Structure 1
């Protein structure tokens, strides 16, 4: 144990910087900054994410101008799994010329994982931070704190998130004492980058030390652009099928035998249906993770068609390479290679086919989603003179709904009851909203749901049920509803609009106070493909959600207000 302790002390880079290794040192302050090269490197590694790249370039520029001191902002990339958070951190390390070390914090529940173990224990070792610095070999690496939102806490083993507060505080990390070492080690030269899926799960004191950079899901155009970039000939690093460009593919086998697959002229054009099929089938959702293996797996069946003796049709070789054969890529070939579609998405024309149904937009940890809301009348209170032990107009909610979502449903029902005359409904006890029992269900019952953003969708579904009018099938909506009918802003607007575009919606209703988010965060191609309607009150929502528009009777409405 003493030998291991001495070896750890000897291996730690007490005074060794990254500039002393083969990597070039950071530019001195005052030199011309090759920021164009930094942006080019980010563009080569990641398609899209322009605003995130711009923030990274600014981060690099500030770091170089400030002389690479310890008070650099700690970036925290928050977004769905697979959008490129870890690869972005690796790119930052490359452009800064610093070693990169990833520290996985998901599921960590022991404070000793951060501060180290006491040497009196069998199998004691330093904390993960000291181990990462030792492995990097320099005292100024870039350390990625991965999945900081998934750390746990234990009453007996401490809180690792609290231990990170000292690590990320520039006033304290100059003399970080690892319990195993028993000596102060200067972590001030390290650059820290964090990643998370949900900012709400990060403890508030820790989140206060981080600069949050939101990464939303990829648009269809960005996914297609990445597929083309991943298919470049320069990426033939591993054996297996790889796309070589928008018009051809190549199978590279361990024996160097290859087969070129040349697409038809229609398929070779940019944005052709086969390319869209590959992009949609291989990346349904916000992420583009596991990209190269997915492409290789999906194109592997082509090897049986193009290699001699594999049962495929004997095609004339393409000179001057004797192992190259020609195969036309069309819809039929893609159907045989990709198989049946796994992600059909929602059919808006089928889902909104009767009164009492409306399409809402929700945010999840893996991006936006279209959530349909269904409600029906299941029974009525007895007529006058009847005997009953219960009152009419009861509300039943199913679908694993949280408390906030249940309150939103009650608010929506109360608004409909209060404005029944303005909606053309009876204002007395014979009103359907008071007489009938209502059952509201949100499909996908195995998935917990909560939040206030479904408020206007619940109200629209109830109005549709009681007025017996169908909601437009191509309209989705999101927004919190108050008892006065105000539409309040919500979060996750970009992800929700991406989900609406993927579901082939034509119109999206959003709170008027979210329009700056729409203009700033949503890509231009998404805004152009959707009609985004700002709504200040529920009356605006009802006019846009129904065709013909549902207009409240103003005199009765003013009297009610």
Structure 2
């Protein structure tokens, strides 16, 4: 068995000691409480306290009872001014002071409670009862001891006020009684909190109280240390910079005989700068202002940053165009499948640049659904020309300063994003794609769309003035390409400056070749799969395209194929040498297809017409439902429809009344005694646009006449009060969406016949397209009984 330490022997001795029933009492003031297992110095100066000390030395073997006053300011406390629990202590050292007071060193021995006061006039004496508590040394208690010791060590490391002996005593003992009393005696807390800890007999509860106090103290000390460190660092940094700057000046003077300081270097850079004369003049003016400023003033930092911007912008630097039309055509065909019209326009643009000495850079705007390759087309233009490529996303932009920059009066002012991008690219003639130009907003910070007018106008952008630079920068050699999902949200003035190129959605056949020739080879490389390790049959790929995606672009298709590659990679990692993806195991790899069910109605229904819509995400088909109920001729519209579609519904109801009047006047009373509820399902999805008039009218007429509408017919077209069918946009996307949904009979306005040329022949051959001029033609085709 291990030999007991000196501390443990001291504890055993203290526990076995017997104490007199009566002891002289010394009330303690100041902000300390005498704890057992601790040694505390104190000054005894009051008359009664000196008498108690003398009696203790003469009659009680240096023992006395120490108890705290409730009010530490009282000079002559009464019996009620003392706490009832205190500590039996022993005087181990005494020194007489110059003014009759005594400096004593007290060793706390045992908690005790006052039973009664036996004397209070000349000296205070009381009968006491030592307090004991029995407890078990549990794992929780052991953990508490360790945590308190650990936190106390951290506390000591921060304060650095405690002697090494006190640290060693705490390190050497594991006794919860000793640990709790020792730590409590030195904590810088109010005497009321110390008294609470003294009155708590169970060491576990005492340790918990101490742990809470220690945690707060350590956190506060750490915060104080962090603040002090930051302040010290700032002061030292400023002093160090000043010292180094002065030292550098002296060294330069010794080496060159002149102070070749920062300003001299900046002057040299301005002289060598390849820029228009007005730029150099502005830089020299700012430098002369900077020389007169204190280097520590905020204005000096602003001027220094501004000069850096002037020196680093590519005022004259540009790349030389590579104008090989055949090479450009190969590159476009390599990077993009289909897109015949956009490719032709890009090649025309390159041809003009090759022939003209001063070509004007047009602003191309690629409009199409997400994932059709608008941004990547811009990248291909840059690659074909051999120019640097940059991209700015305008989606959600509401601050005009994002385009024009902040004025230098603002704290942290910077140039606009266009100037920032030009500086980053290092040339004045890059290709810059402005993505999502249809998603800009207006706020109290200005209208960024209006700010773009100067950027994109070929008549103005040769002298674009950024608010930060305050001098013109030539943007005329930049090729700006913008992208948008829809056109109607782009302001008219801005749209007028751009050449619109529609990029339609892809057919399933086009998606097959894009997946086979572009997406799959890229994904194989990304996932580390060799061509020999995977085989995807044509049927499997077509099944993935038709049943797992339903979009105009190929973004979802790429995500699904990436998921397939991960499944294949897992099988290869598990030991399979190759994976064969066939029609019958696609479901096993990718799960249940989300689009295996067609959106086409299962059977003809009364009041349910199939319309075709063109959204920012491509073409869709919508079921328009009309239900007639008893009422007062009200029109109820649901399905989160926009203002344009609501107006179309009003026109459709009025036109329907006119048509019914001609067919059967007896049915006219329905318009007065019934309510018409028009609903377009998927109410959470906003729907708007001027192409639902035909569909709405057909749905209302079907409900009134109680005649079902063919479920194999989809229609689009706006209607007038006279019943004329007006042309609409997005014909290709609409027809493709109907085809994907299994609908083969299509009704379109007569004036949209020219748009059929853009539909792939293999799709057009499978569709029967009716070209109509008025609503009566529509009703003859769509209703089951003409």
Q: 1:81 aligns with which of 346, 370, 392?
A: 370
Q: Which residue of 1 aligns with 2:583?
A: 331
Q: Which residue of 2 aligns with 1:303?
A: 569
Q: Which runs of 5+ in 2 are unaligned?
A: 1-300
Task: Please give the alpha-carbon distance, in whole angstroms, between the structure 2 residues aligned to 1:290 and 1:462.
Answer: 36
Task: Please give the alpha-carbon distance, in whole angstroms, between the structure 2 residues aligned to 1:160 and 1:76.
Answer: 17
Task: Please give the alpha-carbon distance, in whole angstroms, between the structure 1 residues aligned to 2:514 and 2:418.
Answer: 34
Note if contact 1:146-1:195 (Cα within 8 Å) is conserved in structure 2: yes
Length-normalised TM-score, structure 1: 0.81
Q: Which residue of 2 aligns with 1:239?
A: 527
CA 67–374 in structure 1, closer or farther in 2 if over 3 Å, else same: same
| Deviation of 1:402 (Å) | 2.8
Q: Which residue of 2 aligns with 1:515?
A: 753
1:7 aligned onto 2:244 = no
Note if contact 2:724-2:773 (Cα within 8 Å) is conserved in structure 1: yes
Note if contact 2:639-2:683 (Cα within 8 Å) is conserved in structure 1: yes
Secondary structure at the aligned position of 2:736 is classed as helix
Q: Which residue of 1 aligns with 2:651?
A: 411
Task: Please give the alpha-carbon distance, in whole angstroms, between the structure 2 residues aligned to 1:349 and 1:40.
Answer: 45
- Following superposition of structure 1 onto structure 2, how do residues 26-175 of structure 1 map, counting pairs within 5 Å? 26-27=322-323, 34-67=324-357, 69=359, 71-155=360-444, 157-175=445-463
Task: Please give the alpha-carbon distance, in whole angstroms, between the structure 2 residues aligned to 1:147 and 1:234.
Answer: 26
Secondary structure at the aligned position of 1:212 is classed as strand
Q: Which residue of 1 aligns with 2:500?
A: 212
Q: Which residue of 2 aligns with 1:533?
A: 770
Task: Please give the alpha-carbon distance, in whole angstroms, between the structure 1 residues aligned to 2:371 and 2:675.
Answer: 44
Task: Please give the alpha-carbon distance, in whole angstroms, between the structure 2 residues aligned to 1:430 and 1:91.
Answer: 61
Q: Which residue of 2 aligns with 1:201?
A: 489
| Deviation of 1:492 (Å) | 1.5
Task: Please give the alpha-carbon distance, in whole angstroms, between the structure 2 residues aligned to 1:236 and 1:7.
Answer: 45
Task: Please give the alpha-carbon distance, in whole angstroms, between the structure 2 residues aligned to 1:399 and 1:103.
Answer: 35
Task: Please give the alpha-carbon distance, in whole angstroms, between the structure 1 residues aligned to 2:657 and 2:458.
Answer: 57
| Deviation of 1:121 (Å) | 2.7
Task: Please give the alpha-carbon distance, in whole angstroms, between the structure 2 residues aligned to 1:366 and 1:231.
Answer: 20
- Following superposition of structure 1 onto structure 2, how do residues 129-528 of structure 1 map, counting pairs within 5 Å? 129-155=418-444, 157-231=445-519, 233=521, 236-241=524-529, 244=531, 260-262=533-535, 267=537, 272-281=538-547, 283-289=549-555, 292=558, 294-307=560-573, 310=574, 325-344=577-596, 346-350=598-602, 352-379=603-630, 391=632, 393-420=633-660, 422-423=662-663, 425=664, 427-428=665-666, 432-519=670-757, 521-528=758-765
Higher relative helix content: 2
Number of aligned positions between the proteins: 485
CA 395–232 in structure 1, closer or farther in 2 if over 3 Å, else same: closer
CA 331–203 in structure 1, closer or farther in 2 if over 3 Å, else same: same
Task: Please give the alpha-carbon distance, in whole angstroms, between the structure 1 residues aligned to 2:559 and 2:743.
Answer: 32
Larger radius of gyration: 2
Note if contact 2:636-2:678 (Cα within 8 Å) is conserved in structure 1: yes
| Deviation of 1:331 (Å) | 2.5
Q: Which runs of 5+ in 1 are unaligned?
A: 20-24, 28-33, 245-249, 251-259, 316-324, 381-390, 551-561
CA 112–529 in structure 1, closer or farther in 2 if over 3 Å, else same: same
Q: Deviations over 1:477-505 (max 9, x none)?
A: 01112222211111121111111111110
Length-normalised TM-score, structure 2: 0.59
